[in-house]
Amino acid sequence: MIALFKRLLIFSGDQKGLLLRSFLFHVISSVFEMVPILAILTVLEEVLAKQQGKLISADTIRESFAIMMVSILGRIVFINLSANARTFGSFSVCTKKRLIIGERLKHAPMGYFSENRLGDITAAVTTTLGDIESNAVTIMESVAGGFIHAIVITSWLFFYERRIGLLSLAGLLAALLVYADIQKVSKKHSPRRQAAQAALVTAVLEYVQGMGVVKAFGLDGYAAQTMNQSIEESASANIKLEKAFSTMTGWYQTVFKLARAAVLVFAPYLLWTGEISAEKCLLLLVSSFMIYSAVEVAGSMSSVARLVDASLDRMEKIMAIPSLDENGSNLSPVQHDIEVRHVSFGYGEKEVLHDVSFTVPEGSSCAIVGPSGSGKTTLCSLLARFWDVNSGQILLGGHDVRTYTSDSLLRNFSIVFQNVYLFEDTIENNIRFGKADATREEIIEAAKKACCHNFIMALPDGYGTKIGEGGASLSGGEKQRISIARAILKDARIIILDEATASVDPENELDLQKAIFELTRGKTLLMIAHRLSTVRSADQILVLDKGKIVQRGTHTELLTQDGLYRHFVNIRQQALGWRLGEGGVL
C-alpha cells in the first residue's frame, strides 16, 4: 500500500503537493468526524449523574451542541478543501501526462507505431489515465485515510480503556493481513483485465476503420466474431477479477464485524464485573460503531487500488516511448544539400535498403524510380528521419540528421505522402498545418497553385467546409491536392514528393506540375514517381531495385543504357499507346 502511494506521488510530479494536501485535509476531516464522541460523553456523564426526574442543564446542551457544530463545520470545510485539491490535482496530473505522451509520440521513430498497436496507445490516454484520474487520490483517501481514522480512534481507546483498545487493535491487525491477501489476488488478476481492455479498444478501432473492407468482401461475420471475442474476453477478465475480490472482501468485512461484536460483548462484561462505569460502557458501545466505519471502505477499494497499480505499470511502459531527440541539437543548416553514405536499413530482421549512397546538391532535383517494394518510400522516410538507419549516414547541410532535433530537422522539409491523411477539421485548417500563422490569402494562393481552389469553392462552405476523419468526404485526388497545398504553404527548402501526382486527374496534372516546379525552383527536390512527365526533367534519376541503386543518371543518359529504366519507359509508352476499339484493345 505504501509502495503504491510512493508511485502515485512520483507519477504526479510537480502536482504531488495538491495530492498530499487532499490527503491531509481528508485525514483532518476524519478527526472532526470523531469529535461527536466528546458531545456524547458530555451528555452521558450528566445524564447518569443526575437523579431520576432531573433535567439536563442548559449549559450541557449548549456545550454538546457547540461540539457537534464544530464537528459538522470542520467536516464541511475540510471535505470541501480535500475535494478541490483532489479534483484539481488528479485532472492536472493526467492532463500533463496526456500532453507529454502526445509530445513524445511526435518524436518517436515510425517503427514504434508499427510495433505497438493503436489500441495500446489509445487505451493508455483514455482508459488507463482515466482510471488514474478517477481513482488515484480516492485510493489515498479511502485506504490510507481509513486506516489512519481507525488508528486514531484505537489510540484514543488505549488511553480511555486499554483492554478495549487492545481488542480494537487486534481487529485492525487481522484486517491488515486480509487486506494483504486481497492485494495478492489483485496482483494476479488485474493485469489480465488491463490487457483485455487494451485488446478491446484495438478490436473496436479495427472493426470501425475497416468497415469498408468488411462490407466489400462480406466479412461481417468474421470481423464481428473477432470483436465479439475481445468483448467476451474483457467481460470474462472483469468478472474473474470481481469474483476473486468478492470472496476476499467478504472476509475483510467479517473481521470488522467480529471485532465490533467482541467490543459489544466485552464492554458490558466489564460493566457487569464493576471494572468500568456505566457512562464509560455506553461510550465504548457507541465508539465500537465508529472504530472501523472508515477503514471498512478500504476493503471495497482494494480492487481499485490494484487497478491503479496496474495502470501505473502500463503508463510506465507508454512513457518509455523511444525518442529521436535524445542527442539532438536545434540546428539550422547553411546549405541544403543531401548526402547518403552507405546506408542500410531494415524493418526488424528484413533488410530493405542495402549500402545505398548518393548526393543531391542544393537546388537540384532527384527522382527515385523502381518497382513496388524496392525501398523508394523507405529511403525518403529515412531522409526526414522517420526512422534511424541501421548503418551508414545521412547528412543534411554537412550534418548527420541524427544530430538535429526532430523539429529543427523537419523545418527543412515539405513532404507530400502517397497516402494522404487529413484531420477532421475545416479544409482551411488542414492546409494551415503547413504554416500555423498563415493568412487566408496565403492559404488561397497555395490552394490555387495546387489546383484545388476551384473544387473547394464548389463545396457548401468553401474553405470552411468540415471534412470527415482522414478526409473521408473527399476523393483521393482532392485529398492529394490539399496535401500538396499544405506543402506549398510550408515553403521549406527541401521538397519530398511521394507519388504526389498519382491521384490527380489528367486535366489538372499539367497545371499542377507547373506549380510544383515553380515552387521548387532553387530548392532541393526529391520525388518518387512513375510518370515520365514527372521524372524526365529531374537533374538526376536513381533507379532502385531490391533495395539497391542499380542505375543513376539523367533521363537521356538512362535511355541509352540497356537497363531497368529503359524497360520502364518502354512499358509506359506501350501503355499510353493502347486504345479501345470495337474489337477490343488495339
pLDDT tens for 383-428 read 888 888 889 999 999 899 988 888 888 889 888 877 777 888 888 9
Q: Is the pLDDT of residue 538 over 70?
A: yes
- Quickly count helices (H) and strands (E) in the chain: 23, 12
pLDDT at 393: 93
Q: Classify residue 205 by burial, with Cβ atoms within 10 Å: 0-12, 13-18, 19+.
A: middle
Q: What is the mean pLDDT of residues 163-167?
A: 84
Residue 164 to residue 156: CA distance in whole angstroms = 10
Going from N- to C-terminal start, the domains of the chain cover 2-319, 331-412+497-508+520-586, 414-491
pLDDT digits (tens, 9 = 90+) for 349-374: 788 899 999 999 988 889 998 888 88
Residue type, 175: A
Q: What is the mean pLDDT of residues 6-24?
A: 80
Of 1 and 408, the one with more pLDDT: 408
- List all residues 6 or more positions away from 97 whose beta carbon is below 8 Å from its beta carbon: 11, 129, 315, 319
pLDDT at 247: 75
What's the pLDDT band for 580 if we cut at 50, 70, 90? very low
Q: Is the pLDDT of residue 135 over 60?
A: yes
What's the fold here for domain 2-319? ABC transporter transmembrane region fold (1.20.1560)
Of 574 and 432, the one with more pLDDT: 432
Element (H, E) at 133: helix 129-139
The listed range with the strongest mean pLDDT (97-101, 120-124, 209-213) is: 97-101
Percentage of the chain beyond pLDDT 70 is: 82
Hey, which CATH number is domain 331-412+497-508+520-586, 3.40.50.300, 3.40.50.410, 3.40.50.970, 3.30.420.60? Answer: 3.40.50.300
What's the pLDDT band for 213 if we cut at 50, 70, 90? low
Instruction: Provide DSSP, 428-453.
Output: HHHHHTT-TT--HHHHHHHHHHTT-H
Q: Is the pLDDT of residue 64 over 70?
A: yes
pLDDT digits (tens, 9 = 90+) for 170-212: 888 887 788 777 777 777 777 777 678 777 777 777 777 666 6
pLDDT at 10: 81
Q: What is the mean pLDDT of residues 340-355?
A: 88
Residue 370 to residue 380: CA distance in whole angstroms = 13
pLDDT at 584: 37
What's the pLDDT band for 259 if we cut at 50, 70, 90? confident
Element (H, E) at 530: none
Residue 380 to residue 368: CA distance in whole angstroms = 9
pTM: 0.63
Which pairing describes strands 494-498 and 524-528: parallel, antiparallel, or unpaired?
parallel
Report the phi/psi class of residue 274: left, alpha or beta, with left for phi > 0 and alpha for psi in -120 to 50.
left
Percentage of the chain beyond pLDDT 90 is: 7
What's the fold here for domain 414-491? Rossmann fold (3.40.50)
pLDDT at 542: 92
| Mean pLDDT of the chain, nearest integer | 79
Q: Is the pLDDT of residue 148 over 80?
A: no
Domains 331-412+497-508+520-586 and 414-491 share a fold: yes
Q: Is the pLDDT of residue 344 over 80?
A: yes
Residue 467 contacts residue 422 (beta carbons within 8 Å): yes
Q: Is the pLDDT of residue 453 over 60?
A: yes
Residue with cell 468482401: 217
Which pairing describes strands 413-416 and 494-498: parallel, antiparallel, or unpaired?
parallel
